């Protein structure tokens, strides 16, 4: 294998590092400041490197355009507006075209797919499907056979009833009443009636149909990924071999309020044959009601309880990983949700809360989860306080898996190659593996695992994957300016991880380790070198190859701060 050229030894105590990259030749050099300082530290003792943790809260936010500057959807398609005076959008197509951004391509993916583009002249590919008199073209052959491939859209009547608090939860209310009664103590005997496992006696009648089951064994599970685990990204991972997919973490209270943005997280693509929704909450009433709501109004194969989220905002409310130390509440949540759904219930946990291993409690919890009716548990081999600063403890995962038997357990942490997956799967004795960062860095990892090989993927093939994501994004978020820029933002968030991939042909030793910092290197061509750049400006250049030039006021800073590489010694 060819040794990767190093332009300068990287010092962990230096705020700057030199990164060479090339667009036209290898003579250009850019100095990158990962901490966004404005002045280089040159004198005095070296400063301690600041840990990059959490979110970039001061990052630029997307600004929605004013409604008056947007064109009415009817006018955009050359149709008469049916809203009348209540429509507050513009209705002058010619005036709109005078200020509209230029087209970014010749073929509209929505028109090619369905035979009709719903965005009309608002589309950034509008000339492909619009006549000279600004009427939308419809391909009747395609359009008559087109079937929507995205499900779990929130019905308007359901949204209204949720917002007015008129939606009925009969099964949840029955469980909560039973739970309330079970907490009453018989003052004469001192006996407390525990709620235990819910049966078909008392108030709750189980449905007559058989409970749905899923064979989780030997499946490759794409982890629920906040921000990056959107529907277009999941489509890419399904294409490259993922067996199980799960939507981004959704807050149960927001779903119960009918928030459109939260319901977007439970949408499902037709290619997702085993699909689940991950719920986050702290109380049995809201979690149970949300489970019943999803059971009735969506098409999902399983529901997952988030008991591993480390974010302070979630943890401080008693949700996420905080539930690992609230055993009573977790029991009520699990048994309540299990009593109102006919699909499998899974739980995602961490090794524990605190840094020290002797404080971890996952091994104490899995037996309870099994007895409470959980169908499968996924364990991340790190604690909340460790985040990504330590390697995942697969020995501990193995211990937990043995204690949980016969309930299947999936292991999660530090899988970036098929060797990692096979080694951990065999040694830990888990039913399967969940892949998170590894799938973001290289979504073809699922193909590598199934085919037991290293894929020396070329830069052009990687660009094709990004193009597939962009096309899926334009289908999902829209091909108008707002949809294009939303697709661009999620693409850039993804590129902030893909730059960590080192091509197989450049590695001195295989496989690449997920927590090793790769040195600066030249790729085998200009595009491969550009894709390896950790500079936001270079990610924007890649996005411009696929989505055209960015607006003049465009600014981007990734949502998540990168602190996943271990520090190198100077």
Q: Which residue, of 121, 147, 173, is where some domain finishes?
A: 147
151-170 average pLDDT score = 96
Same domain, 252 and 358: yes
Same domain, 483 and 371: no
* Residue 226: pLDDT over 70: yes
Instruction: Tell me the pLDDT band of 40, cut-offs 50, 70 and 90.
Output: very low
The model carries a pTM of 0.84
Q: List the catalytic residue out of 252, 309, 499, 536.
A: 309
Given this model, what pLDDT does residue 23 score? 36
Given this model, what pLDDT does residue 16 score? 32
In DSSP terms, 352 is beta-bridged to 383
Neighbours of 423 (CB within 10 A): 13
DSSP 8-state code for residue 516: S
Given this model, what pLDDT does residue 7 score? 36
Same domain, 127 and 238: no
> pLDDT for 59-74, tens place per residue?
555 666 665 578 888 8
Given this model, what pLDDT does residue 552 score? 83
Same domain, 304 and 414: yes
Same domain, 485 and 441: no
**Residue 393 lies in domain:** 220-455
Same domain, 519 and 375: no
Same domain, 486 and 429: no
Six-digit token string for 350: 């961490």
Nearest to 218 by CA among 429, 406, 393, 427: 429
170-189 average pLDDT score = 78
> pLDDT for 251-305, tens place per residue?
999 999 999 999 999 999 999 999 999 999 999 999 999 999 999 999 999 999 9
Neighbours of 226 (CB within 10 A): 16
List helix spans (H) across 405-458. Answer: 418-428, 437-441, 445-451
| Catalytic annotation present for 309 | yes
CATH of the domain at 236: 3.20.20.70
The Cα 305–Cα 330 span in angstroms is: 10
The Cα 492–Cα 512 span in angstroms is: 23
In a domain, 41, yes or no: no
Given this model, what pLDDT does residue 557 score? 82
405-432 average pLDDT score = 96
Q: Which residue, of 396, 423, 455, is where some domain finishes?
A: 455
Given this model, what pLDDT does residue 54 score? 52
In a domain, 238, yes or no: yes
Six-digit token string for 147: 């079937």
Nearest to 563 by CA among 407, 405, 440, 386: 386
> What's the mean per-residue pLDDT of the chain?
85
In a domain, 5, yes or no: no
């Amino acid at each position: 294998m060819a040794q990767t050229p190093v332009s300068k030894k990287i010092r962990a105590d230096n705020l700057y590092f030199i990164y060479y990259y090339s667009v036209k030749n290898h003579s250009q050099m850019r100095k990158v400041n990962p901490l966004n300082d404005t002045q280089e530290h040159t004198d005095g003792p070296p400063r301690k490197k600041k840990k990059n943790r959490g979110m970039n809260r001061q990052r630029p936010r997307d600004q929605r355009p004013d409604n008056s500057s947007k064109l009415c959807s009817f006018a955009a398609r050359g149709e008469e507006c049916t809203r009348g005076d209540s429509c507050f959008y513009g209705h002058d197509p010619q005036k709109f075209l005078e200020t509209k951004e230029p087209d970014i391509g010749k073929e509209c993916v929505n028109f090619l797919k369905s035979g009709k583009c719903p965005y009309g002249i608002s589309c950034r590919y509008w000339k492909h499907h619009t006549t000279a008199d600004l009427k939308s073209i419809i391909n009747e052959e395609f359009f008559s056979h087109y079937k929507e491939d995205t499900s779990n859209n929130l019905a308007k009547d359901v949204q209204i009833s949720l917002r007015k608090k008129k939606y009925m939860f009969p099964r949840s209310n029955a469980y909560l009443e039973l739970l309330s009664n079970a907490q009453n103590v018989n003052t004469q005997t001192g006996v407390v009636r525990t709620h235990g496992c819910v049966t078909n006696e008392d108030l709750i009648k189980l449905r007559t149909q058989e409970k749905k089951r899923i064979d989780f064994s030997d499946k490759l599970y794409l982890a629920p990924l906040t921000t990056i685990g959107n529907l277009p990204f999941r489509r890419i991972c399904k294409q490259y071999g993922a067996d199980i997919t799960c939507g981004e973490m959704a807050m149960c209270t927001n779903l119960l309020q009918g928030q459109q943005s939260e319901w977007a997280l439970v949408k499902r693509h037709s290619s997702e044959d085993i699909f689940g929704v991950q719920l986050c909450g702290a109380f049995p009433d809201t979690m149970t009601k949300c489970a019943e709501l999803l059971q009735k109004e969506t098409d999902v194969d399983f529901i997952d309880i988030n008991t591993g989220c480390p974010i302070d905002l979630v943890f401080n409310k008693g949700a996420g990983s905080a539930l690992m130390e609230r055993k009573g509440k977790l029991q009520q949540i699990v048994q309540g949700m299990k009593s109102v759904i006919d699909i499998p219930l899974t739980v995602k946990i961490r090794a524990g809360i605190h840094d020290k291993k002797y404080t971890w409690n996952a091994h104490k919890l899995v037996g309870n989860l099994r007895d409470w009716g959980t169908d499968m548990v996924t364990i991340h081999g790190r604690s909340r306080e460790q985040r990504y600063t330590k390697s995942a403890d697969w020995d501990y995962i193995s211990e937990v898996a043995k204690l949980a038997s016969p309930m299947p357990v999936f292991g999660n942490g530090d899988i970036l190659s098929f060797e990692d997956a096979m080694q951990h799967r065999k040694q830990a004795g888990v039913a399967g593996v969940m892949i998170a960062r590894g799938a973001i860095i290289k979504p073809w990892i699922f193909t590598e695992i199934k085919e037991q090989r290293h894929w020396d993927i070329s830069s052009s093939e990687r660009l094709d994957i990004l193009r597939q994501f962009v096309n899926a994004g334009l289908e999902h978020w829209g091909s108008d300016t707002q949809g294009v820029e939303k697709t661009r933002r999620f693409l850039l968030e993804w590129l902030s991880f893909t730059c960590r991939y080192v091509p197989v042909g450049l590695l001195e030793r295989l496989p690449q380790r997920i927590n090793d910092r790769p040195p600066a290197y030249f790729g085998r061509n200009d595009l491969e070198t550009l894709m390896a750049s950790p500079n936001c400006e270079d990610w924007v250049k890649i996005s411009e190859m696929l989505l055209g030039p960015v607006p003049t006021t465009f600014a981007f800073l990734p949502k998540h701060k990168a602190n996943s590489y271990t520090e190198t010694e100077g």
